Amino acid sequence: MVSTHPAEVQNAGTQYLPQRRNTSTNISPNQELLPLTAKVNSNDNLEIGGCDVTTLVEQFGSPLYILDEATLRTACQQYRDSFKKYYPGESQVLYASKAWSCLAVCAMIASEGLGIDVVSGGELYTALTAGMSPEKIYLHGNNKSRAELTLAIESGVTIVVDNWYELHTLVEILKAMSVPSTRIMLRLTPGIECHTHEYIRTGHLDSKFGFDPNDLGEVFEFVSKQPTLNCVGVHAHIGSQIFERQPHQDLGAVMVQWLRDAAKYGLNLTELNVGGGLGIKYVESDDPPSIEEWVKAICEVVQAACAAENLPLPKLLSEPGRSLIAPACVTAYTIGSSKTIPEIRTYVAIDGGMSDNPRPITYQSVYRAVVANKLSAPITETVTIAGKHCESGDILIKNAQLPKTEAGDILVVMGTGAYNYSMASNYNRLPRPAAVVVADGEANLILQRETYQDLIRQDCLPERLKS
Ligand code: LLP
């Protein structure tokens, strides 16, 4: 039996349960800390997708990524429906699979009618193998290899060309392959500043990505003379985890100018891709716009700019990664040792860390956690959640507010669906955790836990080193 605690109970875990609103207003997953199906069950345990998280850990081991299918699908639907609602032209949402690329995620995305953006041969291979149709795949990258470009041409996906070197290489490869033409888009750096971590900001002029906008005319001219390049549009991406709407609105307006300029070179560009970047709520104070609000802002500005320029509406594409998948997943860990340094702090260690979530050590990202088996216990402790790696900086959460914990408790870190598994490593030779997808009380494995055999699979021991 499932009971939902009243919203006013401010305690260790239930405070994070999605607000059950009385109205039919859509809950935007990117504005919630826990997946939309999160509940507290009669054992005071956290339940996601109808599955008790502590039972999942017993069944599939620890640490465990738990992906809530309903939350992912809701986010997909909200993107899709919002574009339909606010944009009279054609639109296509692409999932930025760098956030989490694996067969099951790509297959769910495909079944929602979304396309996929890939940034490597590996992500491309994964998307194709998952059944994503090539017409809905877009290949990015600032240094695509010849092999990656060739695979993209052979598969019939759209190549988002990033720079002059790639443009020339592509023309050369197409000639050698005797392929009549391939679909491309051009990525430009819009010169737009946004407030996010320096490493995840890409739209400002000093960026490794995209053509310099000062080269715009030259690029259009070159492309217009290449019969093998079927250039369909322009692309830009200004950064990630963005809460302001203004930078994307500025972007939409700038990009419509690019479409207008292209026409001067005889290029009829009909697609405009504004990239991704909508932020999510990682902590209580984060206040991102909802998916619908973000889409609306972009649709309005593109329509207004097109009307001002007297241009037909382009097909509008966007590439959300984080806001689609981050809120749908949590990572469950088992608490082990702890160490109290009087007057300083208490470290509580878990059985994973920077290898399964490198974001805190890389970007100083902040996360929140709950104890899955003590969901409504009162908060009594402030502790530092330490990973198990041989590295002092391997701290997942500083000053976590938790109930009293003990070894064996299941700590659940929220919002881990994006850039966690995809950036995971085997540092200290820790096997990567398993991942399950949960829906309607059923859990299915989507990524197997790595074994020690997996860890040495690529190792080669030269004959002379064998004892
Ligand atoms: N499109 C392009 C061309 C991108 O480079 C990115 C992200 C996206 C779309 C998706 O952006 P999103 O909607 O997820 O914000 N590892 C970092 C994030 C790097 C983002 C790279 N590009 C992190 O963990 O925060």
Q: Sign of the CA dihedral 10, 14, 18, 24?
A: negative
**Does residue 188 share a domain with residue 48?**
no
Asked whether residue 129 is domain-assigned, the answer is no
Residue-wise burial string across 58-68, b where 16 or more C-beta atoms lie within 10 A, e elsewhere: eebebbbbbbb
Q: What is the pLDDT of residues 340-362, one digit of tens each?
A: 999 999 999 999 999 999 999 99
Distance from the CA of 200 to the center of ligand 1, in angstroms?
7
pLDDT of residue 148: 98
CA proximity to 201, closest of 120, 98, 97, 277: 277
pLDDT of residue 5: 41
Distance from the CA of 94 to the center of ligand 1, in angstroms?
12
Rounded to whole angstroms, how far apart are CA atoms 330 and 415? 6
Prediction pTM value: 0.95
Residue 140 in contact with ligand 1 by CB distance below 6 A: yes
Amino acid making up residue 220: F
Average pLDDT over residues 421-426: 98
pLDDT of residue 216: 93
**Does residue 443 share a domain with residue 295?**
no
Domain count, the chain: 2
Cα dihedral value 389, 393, 396, 401, nearest 10 = 120
3: β partners: 40
Output 206 or 420, whichever has higher pLDDT. Answer: 420
Distance from the CA of 319 to the center of ligand 1, in angstroms?
9
- Its domain, for residue 305, covers 140-320
**Does residue 234 share a domain with residue 284?**
yes
Q: What is the pLDDT of residues 108-123, one digit of tens each?
A: 999 999 999 999 999 9
Domain termination site, one of 320, 342, 363? 320
Is residue 2 pLDDT above 50, yes or no? Answer: no
Domain termination site, one of 287, 320, 353? 320
**Does residue 302 share a domain with residue 199?**
yes
Active site residue 390: yes
Percentage of residues in the chain having pLDDT higher than 90: 90
Q: What is the pLDDT of residues 362-378, one digit of tens each?
A: 999 999 999 999 999 99
Q: What is the pLDDT of residues 228-281, one digit of tens each?
A: 999 999 999 999 999 999 999 999 999 999 999 999 999 999 999 999 999 999
Rounded to whole angstroms, how far apart are CA atoms 381 and 358? 25
Task: Choose the catalytic residue: 102, 106, 390, 460.
Answer: 390
Are the beta carbons of 17 and 46 closer than 8 angstroms?
Answer: no
Residue 120 in contact with ligand 1 by CB distance below 6 A: no
Asked whether residue 145 is domain-assigned, the answer is yes
Q: Determine how β-strand 46-48 pairs with β-strand 39-41.
A: antiparallel
Rounded to 5°, angle at Cα 250 from 309 and 238: 125
CATH code at position 192: 3.20.20.10
User: Which residue lies with its CA nearest to atom 8 of ligand 1?
Assistant: 276
Asked whether residue 59 is domain-assigned, the answer is yes
CATH code at position 440: 2.40.37.10
Domain termination site, one of 259, 292, 320? 320
Ligand 1 test: best mutation among 93, 319, 364, most atoms within 8 Å of CB?
A: 319
Query: Which segments within 7-90 are labelled E, that is strand?
Result: 39-41, 46-48, 51-52, 64-68
Residue 358 in contact with ligand 1 by CB distance below 6 A: no
**Does residue 292 share a domain with residue 353?**
no
Asked whether residue 201 is domain-assigned, the answer is yes
